[in-house]
């Protein structure tokens, strides 16, 4: 908020010290040219606080709130307000917001809002443990103690009857109010609340990441939540709010609630469909992508997918543990004893799969996936990219997946290299054989792991490969799997074309820069 109400608006006298505090609230820092001074009367402040999240947040936490909430959070707030004013209602809301995007802050503001601007009488905060619940209670109390809040809504402390870390009982704004917090498996009876029952229950991150790894622990949390906490509701109505993010296990409670028709869901990921951040000011997209890259390189992109993107399918592929894929054991100065390129062809239409080109080397008898190139390449672009790799590295063997129409790419390779006068490059077909693609890919996963892996990954392409592995679902037919398909052909090429892989040719002495490979649109001859 830019300025609280004045003493004249409230019709009270203030001391010089209070006047100085009021002036500090009214006038923003001279160094901040983006903020504009404004003044409101009591009625305006009350109405704005009741309807505008950004106004209420700035009023309640002026030293903490740095940025305006983005549109999705404003929609969440309106969604919550739709239910909090209902009477004789027992709505169950599941709110999924990404980790690190301020969902706990929103819940603290909402708890304070219930006290200040609704008729709710008993707000119960439930966390993974008692300490976390008490921390939230303390922060809600800080909001109630904020000078702005006291000036507008009054001093809640004047009516205190009970004041402990886990229970606040006080008369305020014409009703007796209880604000309490417990941990999972805590005792509601132990708070001595004179038979009062909650009419708002906020389950705030009640399941930890470690809990989600255990079926036994997760089911115990669910039973306590449903059988103990939710059964202690007020008979005249109770609003249940479950707030969390996804976890990459099938015991994630938010994941279950998403498919439970009795719960109303609002779930958002940290990166929007247009590639922008859900809250750019707080978590810039550049920062999120760097975080993803880090998780990916650690071998656990599923953590980012689930906890930041709230993707319930983050751990679909249970056929490989990518943390068991060993680190690259060589250095770039090591000399290879062979090189080869594998191409998984497609076309350049908008709805087609990517063309995938993998460049591989052999070191100490083991194939190493050294580079990955993907895109909607035309046949000319595919040939040009592969030849560029050959001229840059000295690679002289290219294997092309040649099932059905894909075989035609070999013809164009030979045609273009002959047209350009390029010598020393061998091309050959590679076929899937009798094994289905899913079987070949699952077999390839075994080649990547174990004490003695038979395929190694260079650090520069690990993240691309990991990204496709973690999203691969063997039960689907429409996977994005061009990289995995290329990797599945590595043992085949090593077995069938070892002579060509290890052969040395004069390809490295030629200059591709003097020749141009035209696309199909530029040259009607191919």
Residue 183 is assigned to a structural domain of this protein: yes
Residue 201 domain-assigned? yes
pLDDT of residue 317: 61
pLDDT digits (tens, 9 = 90+) for 45-60: 888 999 999 999 999 9
Residue 10 pLDDT > 80? no
Residue 302 is predicted with a pLDDT of 79
Whether 370 and 438 map to the same domain: the answer is yes
Rounded distance, CA 43 to CA 400, Å?
Answer: 74
Q: Which two tokens stand for residue 30?
A: 């001279």
In the 8-state DSSP scheme, what is residue 277?
A: B
The answer to whether residues 248 and 360 belong to one domain is: no
Higher pLDDT, residue 491 or 22: 491
Using CA atoms, how far residue 490 sits from 130, 427, 501, in Å, is: 54, 15, 11
Residue 434 has what pLDDT? 80
Same domain, 262 and 357: no
pLDDT computed for residue 387 by the predictor: 93
- Tell me the per-residue pLDDT of 450-492, one tens digit each, with 9 for 90 and over: 778 999 999 888 878 887 887 788 878 888 899 999 999 999 9
Examine the pLDDT at 20 and tell me if it is beyond 60: no
**What percentage of the chain's residues is helix, strand, coil (to nearest 5)?**
45, 15, 40
Q: What mean pLDDT comes out for the span 16-29?
A: 49
Q: Within this chain, do residues 252 and 347 fall inside the same structural domain, yes or no?
A: no
- Is 347 found in the same domain as 227? no
Domain end among 233, 267, 301: 267
Sole residue written with tokens 């989600």:
212
**Which 3 state secondary structure label does DSSP give 16?**
helix
**What pLDDT shows up at residue 451?**
76
* pLDDT for res 523: 37
Task: Tell whether 480 is covered by a domain.
Answer: yes
Question: How far are the Cα atoms of 18, 29, 150 from residue 21, in angstroms, in the given order?
Answer: 5, 14, 13
- 363 and 470 both lie in a single domain: yes
307 in any annotated domain: no
| Same-domain check for residues 240 and 370 | no
Q: What is the CATH number of the domain that holds 169?
A: 3.40.50.300
Q: Do 340 and 221 fall into the same domain? A: no
Please give the tally of structural domains in the chain: 2
For the chain, give the percent of residues with pLDDT over 70.
84
Domain limit, last residue, from 267, 286, 304: 267
Query: Beta strand pairing status for 366-375 and 355-363?
Result: antiparallel
* Band of residue 354 on the pLDDT scale cut at 50, 70, 90: confident
- Going by their DSSP bridges, the two strands 160-163 and 355-363 should be labelled as unpaired
> What tokens were used for 461?
């392409």
Is residue 297, in this structure, part of any structural domain at all?
no
Q: Strand, coil or helix: what is 435?
A: coil
Q: Going edge to edge, which strands form the sheet with 338-344?
A: 426-430, 397-401, 338-344, 355-363, 366-375, 456-457
Short-list 229, 226, 207, CA closest to 218: 207
Around Cβ 459, how many Cβ atoms within 10 Å?
10
pLDDT of residue 23: 53
**330 and 261 in a common domain:** no
> Domain ends where: 267, 290, 314?
267
Distance CA 289, CA 287 (A): 6
Per-residue model confidence as pLDDT tens digits over 436-445: 889 999 999 9
If you average pLDDT over residues 270-293, what whole number do you get? 89
What does the pLDDT average to over 105-117? 97
**Widest pairwise Cα distance in the chain:** 95
pLDDT on residue 326: 87
Mean residue pLDDT across the chain: 84
Mean per-residue pLDDT for 251-276?
Answer: 92
User: Range with the lowest mean pLDDT among 108-117, 207-216, 310-319, 426-435?
Assistant: 310-319
Distance CA 97, CA 90 (A): 22
List Cβ neighbours of 7 (8 Å cut-off, separation of 6 or more). 13, 14, 19, 22
Residue 467: per-residue pLDDT: 78
Cβ atoms of 344 and 497 within 8 Å: the answer is: no
Q: Are residues 341 and 439 in the same domain?
A: yes
Three-state DSSP state, 136: helix
Supply the pLDDT for residue 116: 97
Q: What is the mean pLDDT of residues 205-223?
A: 93
Task: Give the tokens for residue 252.
Answer: 């994630």
Is residue 326 located within the same domain as residue 197?
Answer: no
SS3 (DSSP) at 188: coil
CATH of the domain at 412: 3.30.420.320
Per-residue pLDDT reduced to its tens digit, 153-208:
999 999 999 999 999 999 999 999 999 999 998 877 655 566 789 999 999 999 99
405: how many CB neighbours lie within 10 A of its CB?
9
- Quick check: 25 and 147 in contact, CB under 8 A? yes
SS3 324: helix
Task: Give the integer Cα–Cα distance in Å for 279 and 301.
Answer: 21
Q: Are 287 and 249 contacting, i.e. CB atoms less than 8 angstroms apart?
A: no
What are the pLDDT digits (tens) for 361-416? 999 999 999 999 998 888 889 999 999 999 999 999 999 998 876 778 888 888 88
pLDDT of residue 6: 39
Higher pLDDT, 337 or 193: 337
Same domain? For 195 and 335 the reply is no
Domain ranges, residue 382? 322-514
| Best CA proximity match to 401, nearest among 525, 484, 471 | 484
Domain membership flag for residue 284: no
In a domain, 10, yes or no: no
The pLDDT-based confidence of 95 (bands split at 50, 70, 90) is very high
Given pLDDT bands bounded at 50, 70 and 90, which one contains residue 292?
confident
Distance between CA atoms of 146 and 397, rounded to whole angstroms?
72
Q: Are 315 and 248 in contact (CB under 8 A)?
A: yes
Please check whether residue 280 lies inside any domain of the structure.
no
């Amino acid at each position: 908020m830019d300025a609280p109400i004045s003493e004249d608006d409230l019709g009270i006298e203030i001391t010089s010290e209070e006047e100085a505090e009021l002036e500090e609230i009214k006038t923003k820092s001279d160094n901040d040219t983006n903020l504009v001074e404004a003044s409101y009367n009591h009625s305006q402040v009350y109405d704005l606080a009741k309807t505008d999240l950004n106004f209420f947040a700035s009023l309640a936490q002026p030293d903490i709130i740095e940025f305006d909430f983005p549109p999705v959070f404003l929609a969440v707030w309106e969604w919550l307000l739709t239910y909090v004013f209902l009477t004789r209602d027992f709505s169950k809301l599941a709110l999924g917001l990404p980790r690190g995007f301020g969902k706990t802050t929103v819940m603290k503001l909402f708890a304070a809002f219930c006290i200040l601007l609704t008729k709710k009488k008993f707000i119960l905060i439930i966390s993974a443990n008692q300490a976390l619940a008490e921390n939230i209670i303390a922060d809600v109390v800080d909001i109630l103690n904020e000078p702005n809040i006291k000036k507008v809504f009054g001093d809640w402390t004047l009516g205190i009857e009970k004041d402990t870390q886990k229970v606040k009982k006080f008369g305020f704004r014409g009703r007796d109010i209880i604000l309490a917090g417990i941990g999972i498996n805590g005792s509601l009876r132990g708070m001595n609340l004179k038979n009062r029952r909650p009419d708002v229950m906020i389950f705030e991150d009640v399941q930890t990441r470690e809990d989600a790894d255990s079926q036994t622990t997760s089911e115990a949390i669910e039973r306590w939540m449903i059988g103990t906490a939710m059964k202690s509701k007020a008979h005249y109505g109770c609003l249940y709010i479950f707030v969390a993010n996804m976890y990459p296990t099938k015991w994630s409670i938010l994941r279950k609630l998403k498919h439970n028709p009795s719960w109303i869901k609002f779930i958002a990921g940290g990166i929007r469909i247009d590639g922008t951040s859900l809250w750019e000011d707080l978590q810039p997209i550049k920062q999120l992508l760097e975080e993803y890259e880090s998780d990916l390189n650690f071998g656990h992109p599923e953590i980012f997918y689930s906890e930041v993107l709230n993707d319930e399918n983050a751990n679909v592929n249970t056929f490989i543990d990518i943390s068991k894929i060993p680190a690259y054991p060589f250095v770039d100065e090591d000399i290879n004893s062979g090189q080869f390129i594998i191409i998984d062809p497609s076309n350049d239409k908008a709805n087609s799969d990517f063309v995938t080109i993998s460049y591989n080397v052999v070191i100490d008898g083991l194939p190493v996936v050294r580079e990955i190139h993907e895109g909607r390449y035309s046949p000319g672009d595919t040939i040009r990219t592969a030849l560029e790799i050959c001229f840059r590295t000295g690679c002289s063997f290219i294997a092309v997946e040649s099932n059905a129409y894909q075989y035609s790419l070999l013809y164009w390779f030979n045609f273009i290299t002959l047209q350009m006068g390029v010598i020393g490059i061998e091309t050959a077909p590679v076929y899937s054989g009798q094994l289905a693609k899913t079987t070949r890919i699952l077999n390839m996963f075994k080649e990547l792991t174990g004490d003695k892996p038979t395929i190694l990954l260079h650090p520069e392409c690990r993240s691309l490969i990991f990204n496709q592995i973690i999203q691969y679902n063997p039960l689907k037919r429409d996977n994005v799997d061009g990289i995995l398909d290329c990797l599945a052909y590595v043992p085949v090429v090593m077995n069938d074309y070892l002579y060509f892989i290890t052969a040395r040719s004069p390809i490295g002495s030629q200059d591709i820069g003097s020749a141009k490979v035209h696309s199909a649109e530029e040259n009607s001859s191919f």
